[in-house]
């Protein structure tokens, strides 16, 4: 700060070296430099050595943007998420990152807090910069988005996109929910569902599964749905609502783990014991699910795998091997303590 600059006049902010600089210094053409840098075979050992040495000395690093302009390949994929909060998204990103890395791809990450305009903005920002995109747009209105991804290959994850339009990868929330209700129905008849936001794709699927299975399993059962927003606070609020019901239901199936966890604390605060007084189950199997007490019974979604699969699909699309347009991952029931079943599984191993 107070120390005077040591140098004279030479621009210290050394402009990064370019192919031209290297070519000049090495006394060769830019073509040769390019060949060396990209490891092409047709270069004489001497030329190669000379260039490599200059590259080293000038600390030359290829300018990625220029390269991708010339080659039309950027080694970049765009990832567009509605949110970055919580275990679900970090696991997803982890899976995507792992798969991308193994394909030599880098990630352009963007979150648009559920806002369609921000999404459009992000998609524009990605155009001409990424080779393909992975989009998670669970908002039902997201179909509008189609207008933008005209040219960039895209795979949608858990998004309400018309099948056939783009490849879609989804968690089978419908059948997952049915499986959970089936499990609960073995001991309960009064099962209430804490649903996710009304405009959310996953929320819809899970609620639909709940309703259908309940109708199929419990004769004369009347579905009861408390609306939430996937947050812990919503779960706690739902717990209060449910506890006040009479007759009080004996089981709660929340549309995601965070709400289930909210229910857990809500009921506990109200003096109810889970699972003795009331059973609680969730959906997703986020890491936290096995840490809370009682440990949460839930539907396990292999989120990390979902991320990997998304990248796999995208690379398939990019390679023009048109993959099956739609695929579902089936979640798996994980029985822990919160549902009062006999066979609690061990703490989740990883």
Binding residues (CB under 8 A) for a second copy: these are 1, 14-16, 59, 61-69, 74-76, 84-87, 89-90, 93-94, 97, 101, 106-111, 122, 124-129, 147-148, 150-151, 164, 261, 265, 287-288, 291-293, 322, 324, 347
Neighbour count for residue 98 (Cβ, 10 Å): 13
Does 81 help bind DNA (rule: CB under 7 A)?
A: no
**Contacted by 250, from a second copy, DNA, none: CB < 5 to 8 Å by type:** none
Calculate helix-pair angle for 173-185, 201-217, nearest 10 degrees: 40
* Cβ closest to a second copy, residue 130 vs residue 184: 130
Calculate helix-pair angle for 87-102, 303-318, nearest 10 degrees: 40
Cα–Cα distance for residue pair 46/48, rounded to 1 Å: 5
**Contacted by 329, from DNA, a second copy, none: CB < 5 to 8 Å by type:** none
* Total binding residues toward DNA, as defined by CB under 7 A: 33
Cα–Cα distance for residue pair 8/68, rounded to 1 Å: 37
Query: Whole-number minimum distance, CB 104 to DNA, in Å?
Result: 14
Cα–Cα distance for residue pair 268/338, rounded to 1 Å: 12
Query: Whole-number minimum distance, CB 84 to a second copy, in Å?
Result: 5
* Cβ closest to DNA, residue 52 vs residue 302: 52
* Cβ closest to a second copy, residue 4 vs residue 186: 4
Cα–Cα distance for residue pair 195/305, rounded to 1 Å: 25
Query: Nearest-CA neighbor of 253 among 295, 306, 302, 214?
Result: 214
**Contacted by 92, from DNA, a second copy, none: CB < 5 to 8 Å by type:** none
Rg of the chain in Å (alpha carbons) = 27
Residues that bind DNA (CB under 7 A): 15-16, 18-20, 27-35, 37-38, 41-44, 46-48, 60, 62-63, 66-67, 69-72, 128
């Amino acid at each position: 700060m107070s120390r005077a600059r040591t140098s004279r006049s030479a621009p210290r902010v050394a402009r990064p070296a370019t192919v031209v600089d290297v070519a000049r210094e090495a006394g060769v053409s830019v073509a040769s430099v390019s060949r060396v840098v990209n490891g092409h075979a047709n270069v004489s050992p001497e030329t190669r050595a000379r260039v490599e040495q200059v590259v080293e000395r000038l600390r030359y690093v290829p300018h990625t943007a220029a390269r991708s302009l010339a080659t039309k390949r950027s080694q970049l994929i765009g990832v567009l998420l509605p949110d970055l909060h919580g275990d679900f998204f970090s696991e997803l990103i982890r899976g995507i990152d792992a798969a991308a890395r193994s394909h030599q791809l880098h990630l352009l990450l963007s979150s648009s807090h559920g806002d369609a305009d921000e999404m459009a903005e992000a998609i524009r920002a990605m155009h001409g910069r990424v080779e393909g995109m992975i989009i998670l747009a669970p908002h039902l209105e997201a179909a509008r988005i189609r207008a933008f991804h005209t040219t960039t290959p895209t795979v949608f994850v858990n998004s309400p996109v018309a099948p056939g339009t783009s490849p879609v990868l989804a968690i089978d929330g419908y059948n997952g929910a049915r499986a959970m209700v089936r499990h609960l129905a073995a001991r309960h008849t009064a099962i209430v569902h804490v649903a996710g936001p009304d405009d959310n794709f996953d929320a819809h699927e899970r609620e639909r599964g709940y309703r259908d299975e309940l109708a199929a399993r419990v004769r004369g059962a009347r579905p009861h749905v408390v609306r939430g927003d996937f947050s812990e606070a919503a779960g706690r609020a739902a717990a209060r609502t449910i506890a006040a019901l009479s007759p009080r239901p004996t089981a709660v199936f929340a549309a995601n783990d965070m709400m289930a966890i909210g229910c857990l604390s809500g009921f506990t605060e109200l003096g109810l014991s889970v699972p003795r007084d009331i059973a609680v189950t969730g959906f997703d199997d986020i890491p936290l699910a096995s840490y809370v007490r009682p440990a949460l019974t839930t539907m396990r979604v292999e989120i990390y795998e979902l991320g990997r699969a998304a990248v796999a699909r995208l690379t398939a699309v990019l390679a023009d091997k048109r993959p099956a347009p739609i695929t579902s991952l089936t979640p798996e029931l994980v029985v822990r303590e919160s549902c009062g079943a006999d066979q609690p599984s061990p703490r989740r191993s990883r």
